Chain A
Amino acid sequence: MGMCVLDSAESVFCRADIISTVEFNYSGELLATGDKGGRVVIFQREQESKNRPLSRGEYNVYSTFQSHEPEFDYLKSLEIEEKINKIRWLPQQNAAHFLLSTNDKTIKLWKISERDKRAEGYNLKDEDGRLRDPFRITTLRVPVLMPMDLMVEASPRRIFANAHTYHINSISVNSDHETYLSADDLRINLWHLEITDRSFNIVDIKPANMEELTEVITAAECHPHQCNVFVYSSSKGTIRLCDMRAAALCDRHSKFFEEPEDPSSRSFFSEIISSISDVKFSHSGRYMMTRDYLSVKVWDLNMENRPVETYQVHEYLRSKLCSLYENDCIFDKFECCWNGSDSAIMTGSYNNFFRMFDRNTRRDITLEASRENSKPRAMLKPRKVCTGGKRKKDEISVDSLDFNKKILHTAWHPKENVIAVAATNNLYIFQDKIN
């Protein structure tokens, strides 16, 4: 992969700056990030211009706004974090851009619009805004639109609140562009974008007796083309595909995807590492990808009993599961993403490593997102983790991996080979170097 184009790092590490979600819009022109402090930062790609040929494809800050504020639930005496869990763009229908952002409890629809003209020549107020005395006005004039510096405004258009008792982990816009689903640990709701005061509950796995709770919903997504189909994954490593035409309540799945467990590798941690942290449909809609702790699996929607492809992300961690359990890293939720043509997939790992797998050639590569190791426009060097025995030069041993530097969120441009990688509070954007 090519160059490190943008680095939005700050020298002082601030908890609120930890990036919690990254998402390209449908055209790839805009890249949105959400952070732990409830802010959304949107980057826009520079248009190619003859004046600055080297700046092709750079992403610059386009808009920043505070999406969610911390709240306090007085009923339960608990804080509601403002951390942005997910951002999903809506398809663009007019000049403005719309996105959904959510924290643990509330989803908001934001309109991001540009303003580059300003009306001047008002009758009732001066240029500086002071009101004019109406009795002094002797003539009327028509205000004229004058160009101004580009201003990007973000305004909340809808607030979808009070529908989730548990923490929202996913939102997904439906292909009909009118509805979207939101999933928390035990329930999935279906919303209409125009209606904020009610939503339909379509999945509820809460047991009557909470002591019987053994499984939670970890992720959900709408099918990219079939607006009646969605999937949700669970903490037990299963994926359920549901058809909303079959019943109003989709507790009964249409398809059930689960890979039989390998009895030889069973341990006390088997269930935890089988918990699916992310599920993504391919752009074609024919496959879906799931990420569990150690691997990424590609499933054919027509085959439920096992995945068609399995990629090991960091198998060398299998012998360290107890330590990872102790420091809670085993519960890290890694995301995964497809490239535009579904020929490659990408996911993150520890030590600021991220991995890319080519599905056709079966080759994979490990790269590192760090400032020390990547200068702008420099080629990234492939990394390798040494699992045992003699450590070769440039290899990193498993014991020297930094488990605090984890890449949980990555995004791939929908059309080009441009990727965005969030490393704690830094955002890295890499793209293919074309000669």
Chain B
Amino acid sequence: MKPWPAVCPSNCSVRPLAPSPAQLAAWLQSQHTELSTFTHCNLAPSGRGAAPLIQHPASKHAYVAHHQRTEVTRVLGCHSCCRIDMFSKGTKRKFSDDGDEISDESLAGAQVSSSYSLQRQSLLDMSLIKLQLCHMLVEPNLCRSVLIANTVRQIQEEMTHDGTWQVVTETFCGGSQSPSERLVATEVLCRSREQDAEPKLFSVLSYEGCREEEVVTDETLCSVSVSDTASDVCLSESARHCWERDEFVEVDRDDEACESSRLGPGDDDDDDDNDDDEVDEEEESSRVDPKTMGQVFGTFEIKNSAPGPDSALEELFSDVDASYYDLDTMLTGIQSAPKMGPYDLLDSLAPSHGPPSIGSPSNCRSDLNELDHIMEIIVGS
């Protein structure tokens, strides 16, 4: 199988634009019950082992895929490209047209699915944009942020179950393009496939913070498979350390700033115990043996959180303002120096991501990191 191309081929077909909110609302409300009886439908570019999307003969705006029953899959497709398209506003993708034949009855079903998916995707994008727009002057409304984040997670979970969840940080084409053409966010998160032979690590947008997994993909795959119980997508270890560090700092600040005193014995001990138990249970349940999926998609592993951050990478990022990647920062607007720059989009697109010091170091990663460093200096000044 060919590796995911560093640059998207120019023969991809154009995706339709996301529908308007009114349409979305109508769709989501009316189609919701129908979807429960709907079988999974792959949305994938050609050559990925899944069916290509071809243009529906009757309608210009419908892209349907071959009706196929599969296990839970995560397919990286132009779907995520399209989403980034919305942010970068310009680059169009096209699917190659293999012209597979599809049956009539699956056509309508697939049409419904792709519309619902599109609209759900649109809702997800809207939610992510809302989370991004932090008011720089005044602290953002925590209640609103939490509700939007919960909505994002809900969509995520459903997409995970449907098998259409695209890893937000997945690399698609950014490798050889200059940062100015793409969002720096995607640039940083992208891993250039040609150069790196080692399995890559992806942090996925997460809200189930108590469990940590790093999803590793084989470079040749371009697809990420996560266990079925993985509504669990998680944060990278080093990122978590950053937050913990920041959280600690914040607690200090709290103690200084707050003059309130708590009476009575704290329930902290009990809470910690419960948390540990919970984490253990979830870790066990998440170790689903994905043999079947492995056979379909090649080798991949799910690595449980291994302590021990990568010191070399941490050194590289020691001067990065970790508060940017603090979820608390995002939610409560605590930022040491509000500045608009590409990194705003970075931590807002994927607020759970720590500095991209994930996984094993590689030459290309350090190159990218240096590039980011330089970009930060240039833009930050």
Question: Are A268 and B267 neighbours in the complex by a CB distance under 8 Å?
Answer: no
Within 8 A of A (CB), among B12-36: 21-22, 24-26, 28-29, 32
1/0 per position for B329-341, CB-CB distance to A under 8 A? Answer: 0011111111000
Which residues on the B side are within 8 Å of A275 (C-beta)? 143, 147
Which residues on the A side are within 8 Å of B130 (C-beta)? 328
Within 8 A of B (CB), among A200-244: 200-201, 204, 208-216, 218, 235
Q: Please, how many angstroms separate the alpha-carbon atoms of A79 and B140 in the complex?
A: 11
Which residues on the B side are within 8 Å of A77 (C-beta)? 335-338
> Nearest-CB distance from B326 to chain A (Å)?
8
One of A109-117, A158-166, A297-305 at the interface: A158-166
Which residue in B32, B139, B208 is a CB contact (below 8 Å) of A78?
A: B139
Given A76-B334, A166-B332, A209-B243; A198-B260 close (CB under 8 Å): yes
Question: Are B144 and A200 neighbours in the complex by a CB distance under 8 Å?
Answer: no
Given A76-B139, A212-B209; A320-B25 close (CB under 8 Å): yes
Query: At the interface, is chain B mostly helix, strand, loop or mixed?
Result: helix
Q: Please, how many angstroms separate the alpha-carbon atoms of A167 and B135 in the complex?
A: 15
**Count the A residues whose beta carbon is within 8 Å of the partner chain — how many?**
55
* A267 at the B interface (CB under 8 A): yes
1/0 per position for B242-264, CB-CB distance to A under 8 A? Answer: 01100100000110011111111
Which residue in B139, B142, B235, B267 is a CB contact (below 8 Å) of A211?
A: B235
Question: Are B253 and A75 neighbours in the complex by a CB distance under 8 Å?
Answer: yes
Within 8 A of A (CB), among B106-127: 120, 123, 126
Which residues on the B side are within 8 Å of A199 (C-beta)? 259-261
Within 8 A of B (CB), among A313-364: 319-323, 325-326, 328, 331
Which residues on the A side are within 8 Å of B141 (C-beta)? 167, 331
Q: How many A-B residue pairs have CB under 8 A?
A: 153
Q: Please, how many angstroms separate the alpha-carbon atoms of A321 and B21 in the complex?
A: 9
Question: Are B262 and A201 neighbours in the complex by a CB distance under 8 Å?
Answer: yes
Which residues on the B side are within 8 Å of A216 (C-beta)? 142-143, 146
Question: Are B257 and A75 neighbours in the complex by a CB distance under 8 Å?
Answer: yes
1/0 per position for B133-161, CB-CB distance to A under 8 A? Answer: 00001110111101101110011000000
Which residues on the A side are within 8 Å of B209 (C-beta)? 209, 211-212
Question: Are B210 and A212 neighbours in the complex by a CB distance under 8 Å?
Answer: yes
A217, closest chain B residue (CB): B143
Which residues on the B side are within 8 Å of A328 (C-beta)? 130, 144
Question: Are A198 and B235 neighbours in the complex by a CB distance under 8 Å?
Answer: no
Given A198-B260, A211-B327; A78-B147 close (CB under 8 Å): no
Which residues on the A side are within 8 Å of B334 (C-beta)? 76, 78
B139, closest chain A residue (CB): A78
* A16 at the B interface (CB under 8 A): no
Question: Are B142 and A248 neighbours in the complex by a CB distance under 8 Å?
Answer: no
Q: Please, how many angstroms separate the alpha-carbon atoms of A164 and B254 in the complex?
A: 9
Question: Are A78 and B333 neighbours in the complex by a CB distance under 8 Å?
Answer: yes
* A368 at the B interface (CB under 8 A): no
Query: At the interface, is chain A mostly helix, strand, loop or mixed?
Result: loop
A163, closest chain B residue (CB): B260
Question: Are B146 and A210 neighbours in the complex by a CB distance under 8 Å?
Answer: no
> Nearest-CB distance from B102 to chain A (Å)?
29
Question: Are B29 and A267 neighbours in the complex by a CB distance under 8 Å?
Answer: yes
* A251 at the B interface (CB under 8 A): yes
Question: Are A323 and B25 neighbours in the complex by a CB distance under 8 Å?
Answer: yes
Within 8 A of A (CB), among B304-351: 326-328, 331-338
A187, closest chain B residue (CB): B260
* A403 at the B interface (CB under 8 A): no
A250, closest chain B residue (CB): B264
* A60 at the B interface (CB under 8 A): no
> Nearest-CB distance from B291 to chain A (Å)?
31
* B80 at the A interface (CB under 8 A): no
Question: Are A210 and B327 neighbours in the complex by a CB distance under 8 Å?
Answer: yes
Which residues on the B side are within 8 Å of A326 (C-beta)? 21, 126
Which residues on the B side are within 8 Å of A201 (C-beta)? 260-263
Which residues on the A side are within 8 Å of B258 (C-beta)? 162-165
Question: Are A79 and B137 neighbours in the complex by a CB distance under 8 Å?
Answer: yes
Q: Please, how many angstroms separate the alpha-carbon atoms of A78 and B333 in the complex?
A: 8
Which residue in B123, B262, B337 is a CB contact (below 8 Å) of A322?
A: B123
Q: Please, how many angstroms separate the alpha-carbon atoms of A331 and B151 in the complex?
A: 13
* B266 at the A interface (CB under 8 A): yes
* B207 at the A interface (CB under 8 A): yes
Question: Are B275 and A208 neighbours in the complex by a CB distance under 8 Å?
Answer: yes
Question: Are B147 and A248 neighbours in the complex by a CB distance under 8 Å?
Answer: no
Which residues on the A side are within 8 Å of B143 (C-beta)? 185, 216, 218, 235, 275, 331
A320, closest chain B residue (CB): B25
Which residue in A167, A189, A212 is a CB contact (below 8 Å) of B260?
A: A189
Given A163-B259, A319-B26; A208-B331 close (CB under 8 Å): no
Q: Please, how many angstroms separate the alpha-carbon atoms of A269 and B318 in the complex?
A: 40
Question: Are B26 and A213 neighbours in the complex by a CB distance under 8 Å?
Answer: no
Question: Are B147 and A208 neighbours in the complex by a CB distance under 8 Å?
Answer: no
Which residues on the A side are within 8 Å of B257 (C-beta)? 75, 162, 165
- Which A positions have Cβ atoms within 8 angstroms of B? 75-81, 104, 162-167, 185-187, 189, 197-201, 204, 208-216, 218, 235, 247-249, 251, 266-269, 271-272, 275, 319-323, 325-326, 328, 331
10 A-B contacts (beta carbon < 8 Å): A78-B137, A78-B138, A79-B138, A200-B263, A211-B206, A211-B235, A212-B208, A212-B210, A267-B32, A323-B21
